[in-house]
């Protein structure tokens, strides 16, 4: 009789748990984008807190939920009427999934049939400002929980298409196929990879084709002009630098400038370092060579950067250093670094920053 009662008790508990999980699946709730439990990192326009808008690559949104599934809601600018952004979705420590939006409003089932419990979701913009904005409008799940505090370490990566993560991901569409942004993958680019290896937050302040004094492709902007903007590509919406104060800023420019008059280039670079220092008085500033620079450009960039570094150090700013990549990375589309090479670039940079900051 005792065994029979125990069996009935066990069955009752199991039934209650199963019923509870079923109810969790069916009683999903939409949590608006302004919910304080949702974390945002990057240059974001919060003018409408229910539709935080962002253009830059690698802006990311994180949330923690309890249950077995999760749906996210995003608006896409659909720039030019046909252009759709890519995002990276990561659940817990699972393999990242790269998805593309398909319209102005997007309801994406980001996770389903997960083991019942607590899960973390990361949504990262893979494409850059030239592909148009995204707006995060909410998350649908059974229960939204508070996330741990963000990592205290912060890094900002200034650069061009290499830093954007463009032309690197051929897993779905080969080079020369589709459109130019089909190979973008900011989440797996060297900056975010480096930051995740160092347990640091990351911001990519980068635009494809941009230079320090000369940009390619008939662009009318250069990095010093747009560095203080949320939408760098269109030089619009002032950014509040107090929102993100990095411990380290890396500058990876020069690929689109090419070989310039040394006085003009170095003078502009020194001035730009001064602009960065004005916004980030305590940051280490690291000047990088272009990872895709060829045998003609790279020696010139090394000379420029060495001279620039020596000048600003002698002028009193000792928190400016430089790092020269060990080789050329060029096996992606249009001689950009590919996915594997971005990992190598990140490994090099991780070692250097770990030593620099004693991380």
pLDDT at site 16: 41
Task: Give the DSSP per-residue string, 27-74.
Answer: --EEEETT-TTSEEESS-B-SSTTS-EE-STT-EEEEEEEES-EEEEE
3-state secondary structure of 200: strand
Q: What is the residue-averaged pLDDT of the chain?
A: 93
Judged by average pLDDT, the poorest of 24-33, 86-95, 329-338 is 24-33
Q: Number of C-alpha atoms within 13 angstroms, CB side, residue 233? A: 20
Residue 355 has pLDDT above 90, yes or no: yes
> CA 243, CA 260: separation in Å to the nearest integer?
35
pLDDT at site 93: 87
Name the residue among 172, 165, 211 with its Cα closest to residue 192: 165
pLDDT at site 27: 87
Q: Give the mean pLDDT of 140-153.
A: 98
Q: Give the mean pLDDT of 124-150.
A: 98
> CA 17, CA 9: separation in Å to the nearest integer?
12
Q: Are 101 and 85 in contact (CB under 8 A)?
A: yes
Residue 23 has pLDDT above 70, yes or no: no
Name the residue among 128, 110, 3, 121 with its Cα closest to residue 58: 128
Q: Give the mean pLDDT of 179-205.
A: 97
> CA 97, CA 83: separation in Å to the nearest integer?
20
| Residue where the block lists tokens 């949504």 | 123
pLDDT at site 26: 56
- Residues above pLDDT 70, as percent of the chain: 93
Q: What is the dihedral of CA 88, 92, 95, 98, to 10 degrees?
A: -10
Q: Give the mean pLDDT of 229-250.
A: 98
Residue 18 has pLDDT above 90, yes or no: no
Q: How far apart are the first and last CA of the chain?
A: 63
> CA 25, CA 290: separation in Å to the nearest integer?
49
- Residues above pLDDT 90, as percent of the chain: 92
Q: CB 37: neighbour CB atoms within 10 A?
A: 14
Q: Give the mean pLDDT of 201-224.
A: 97
Residue 81 has pLDDT above 50, yes or no: yes
Judged by average pLDDT, the poorest of 2-11, 113-122, 134-143, 203-212 is 2-11
Secondary structure element (H or E) that encloses residue 302, with its range = helix 297-314
pLDDT at site 5: 38
pLDDT at site 19: 41
Q: What is the pTM of this model?
A: 0.93
Secondary structure element (H or E) that encloses residue 18, with its range = helix 2-26
> CA 183, CA 263: separation in Å to the nearest integer?
36
CB contact set of 152 (below 8 Å; sequence gap of 6+):
none
Name the residue among 296, 210, 205 with its Cα closest to residue 253: 210
């Amino acid at each position: 009789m005792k065994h029979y009662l125990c069996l009935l008790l066990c069955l009752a508990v199991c039934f209650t748990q199963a019923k509870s999980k079923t109810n969790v699946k069916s009683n999903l709730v939409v949590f608006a984008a302004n919910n304080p439990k949702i974390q945002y990192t990057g240059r974001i326009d919060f003018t409408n807190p229910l539709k935080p808008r962002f253009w830059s690559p690698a802006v990311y949104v994180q949330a923690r939920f309890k249950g077995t599934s999760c749906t996210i809601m995003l608006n896409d600018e659909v720039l030019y009427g046909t252009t759709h952004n890519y995002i990276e979705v990561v659940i817990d420590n699972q393999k990242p999934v790269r998805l593309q939006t398909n319209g102005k409003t997007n309801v994406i089932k980001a996770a389903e049939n997960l083991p019942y419990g607590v899960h973390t979701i990361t949504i990262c913009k893979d494409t850059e400002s030239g592909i148009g904005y995204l707006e995060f409008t909410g998350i649908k799940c059974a229960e939204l929980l508070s996330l741990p505090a963000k990592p205290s370490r912060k890094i900002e990566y200034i650069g061009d298409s290499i830093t954007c993560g463009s032309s690197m991901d051929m897993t779905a569409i080969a080079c020369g196929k589709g459109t130019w942004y089909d190979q973008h993958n900011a989440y797996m680019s060297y900056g975010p990879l480096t930051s995740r290896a160092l347990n640091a937050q990351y911001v990519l302040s980068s635009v494809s084709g941009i230079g320090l004094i000369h940009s390619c492709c008939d662009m009318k902007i250069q990095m010093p002009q747009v560095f203080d903007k949320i939408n760098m590509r269109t030089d619009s919406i002032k950014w509040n630098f107090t929102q993100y104060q990095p411990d380290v800023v890396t500058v990876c420019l020069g690929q689109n400038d090419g070989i310039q008059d040394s006085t003009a280039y170095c003078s502009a670079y020194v001035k730009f370092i001064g602009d960065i220092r004005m916004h980030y008085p305590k940051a280490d500033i690291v000047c990088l060579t272009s990872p895709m620079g060829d045998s003609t450009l790279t020696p010139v960039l090394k000379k420029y950067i060495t001279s620039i570094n020596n000048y600003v150090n002698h002028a009193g700013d000792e928190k400016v250093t430089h790092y020269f990549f060990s080789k050329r990375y060029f096996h992606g589309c249009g001689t950009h670094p590919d996915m594997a090479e971005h990992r190598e670039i990140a490994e090099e940079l991780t070692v250097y920053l770990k030593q620099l900051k004693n991380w």
